[in-house]
Structure 1
């Protein structure tokens, strides 16, 4: 290796903290959920590039109304539309749960299935499915990849599994309906695509606390599958008509954990029945990474930061344009950094002009439906 140029200076090495207790404290402060999620996201990013799947690193394209993903079936119609059409997600995503689910499947379930295979049978990580069906003249398409499956030497599926993780197995007496729907979509597709019958599978739940499992054998039920197809047909009809579907959670408590509860109207913020486009104008509860994915995914429609989010993430204001503050009373606009804001980013500043008239009006960014070009 050649010597560095004479004028090259070595990179400065940060001085370590002065005591072992300070070093320990500095290390402890680095172990956070946010740091873990950022590290894991970067590992996934690099892995996707290494495996030739760099397209996974960008925002997912919006789904055509006729196309459905098995994992989204039989859920709240409105939540499905928000997710399918890339509405901006609220809150911090539980990426640690996603990581655990992936590791549980790859490091625990797959080796276990390999240990119980019979002669001439094998385990594959997944089987790709892509099938079409027609309901009342509407062509529906279901595409997705199964969880691990036991297959023949020719890779023909024999036993399909659907792997889910949960906190506890104590009160789990039957598989959840949308998990049954997901498995039914795979069974229908594989039974259509192969010469032999694929009419049953396993839904396996694993406890994140104990690593115990509970497996449910599921036979293909034509009546239940008909209900799932009806759900797909309804979902397609809503999206073809450009309608925001009704909020239809299976259980009321699901709204508390929904990534779209604020724009839907199921939270303590002044929003309700907001469509799929646009950021909530005075709302600071967007995760930075998900916010960037939204902005990048809608760059062709000139997506920008709201003034509120520019104050929450000032670094992003160097990368993306920012909408102006505006006053509904006098129609005056201000640059996002032109007026003084409150310490709480969720409290908007007041319009200086209206304050002079004794009518104090809060400023706002543009409404969601006014933000994106077509």
Structure 2
């Protein structure tokens, strides 16, 4: 070793090499933390804390299944089956569109309300929402509408004069008029408020806003008795199905709706071996559930002993420790097996074989319990 080499060694690593090491370390730490699951958990905690701050901690718990007669204006005229799945807390099969909800809320609170406050006529005011609770009878079936409007123009006594429904959309290019479901939602507000107040409330505004350009299209919607009759018949039909304990038929208005439905696998409109599955239970051997949707479903049905299927336990081992797991079961010999004792690849579409039957020379596949066998009866 030369004297110059010795001097270089004694000086230690150069500042440039130290910086490279530090950058690599920071990048590695961030890469380990900046993940889809970590962001979803962080955002969920932000919402949890905000609900408590706003005095709305009741939003932090799972939503209760809707009584058959109760309807929300925001779900009117959907596919009957899709609406029923949502109302009864069936497990969703896709990622929750939290970003769309957030953008819609931000547009309404930061832009729409201040704009309406600037343009509303003298001696009138803007309120964020008006609560409705309206009961009506359709062909002998009693239904109830409950929900809150979007911003409304009110008198100094807080009596509503004009209601709005604000929707954000990806583009306004192909929007030639109000969508039927949104028109139904506005009609629900008009019908309920017109019944509750002495003055007539028969017109509303549907405001569509582009999420990319912030341009808006506004449609004035007058109350239409014939249209409202069709909406009330839709409500009565859904109530009748649920009161009878029946799964409503799939009734999308357009064929493409099924491709984007959160329940297409259990309904039977996807390339999986399921169809006409009821509201309860997770699909066996199906693992395309989002973490937050899974937790929402399990929390909503905690009193009915909701657990993960063995398939999902392999994909979400942390949730398995928190919520528990159903056993694998053999339909031939009747034996059950703890999920940890069966090797199964999470990317496999084939169920594992029963170890006991294999020893007897038979190839019988096992699975978790069928959806209808997973939850205990309410109150048990």
TM-score w.r.t. structure 2 length?
Answer: 0.90
Which sections of structure 1, spanning at least 5 residues, go unmatched?
Answer: 1-15
State the match for 1:9 in structure 2. none
- Find the partner of 1:115 among 115, 118, 125: 118
Q: Could you list the per-position Cα deviations for residues 36-66 of structure 1 after superposition, in whole angstroms to 9, with x for gaps in the alignment?
A: 4433322221111122211111111111111
State the match for 1:58 in structure 2. 61
Distance 1:119 1:57 in 2: 39
Distance 1:30 1:109 in 2: 36
1:369 maps onto 2:372 in alignment: yes
State the match for 2:107 in structure 1. 104
CA contact (8 A) 1:37 1:96 kept: no
State the match for 1:232 in structure 2. 235
State the match for 2:48 in structure 1. 45
- Find the partner of 1:77 among 70, 77, 80: 80
1:28/1:312 CA distance change after superposition, 3 Å: closer
State the match for 1:272 in structure 2. 275
State the match for 1:335 in structure 2. 338
Match runs of 1:1-374 below 5 Å: 18-20=21-23, 23=26, 27=30, 34-344=37-347, 346-374=349-377
Task: Indicate the larger mover: 124-133 or 313-322.
Answer: 313-322
Distance 1:345 1:128 in 2: 49
Distance 1:316 1:17 in 2: 38
Give the number of the structure whose residues are more often helix, by fraction.
Answer: 2
Q: Could you list the per-position Cα deviations for residues 259-300 of structure 1 after superposition, in whole angstroms to 9, with x for gaps in the alignment?
A: 111100111111000000111111111112221221121122
Larger-gyration structure (1/2): 2
State the match for 1:12 in structure 2. none
Q: Could you list the per-position Cα deviations for residues 137-169 of structure 1 after superposition, in whole angstroms to 9, with x for gaps in the alignment?
A: 222110000011111111111111111111110
SS of 2:220's partner is: strand
CA contact (8 A) 2:328 2:366 kept: yes
How many angstroms does 1:363 deviate by?
1.6
How many angstroms does 1:120 deviate by?
1.0
CA contact (8 A) 1:342 1:349 kept: no
Distance 1:46 1:173 in 2: 40
1:346/1:54 CA distance change after superposition, 3 Å: farther
How many angstroms does 1:25 deviate by?
6.7
Over the aligned positions, Cα root-mean-square deviation in angstroms equals 1.8
CA contact (8 A) 2:40 2:292 kept: no
How many angstroms does 1:324 deviate by?
0.5
Which sections of structure 2, spanning at least 5 residues, go unmatched?
Answer: 1-18
- The size of the alignment, in residue pairs, is 359
SS of 1:268's partner is: coil
CA contact (8 A) 2:141 2:240 kept: no
1:70/1:136 CA distance change after superposition, 3 Å: same
How many angstroms does 1:114 deviate by?
1.2
Distance 1:248 1:33 in 2: 34
CA contact (8 A) 1:262 1:271 kept: yes
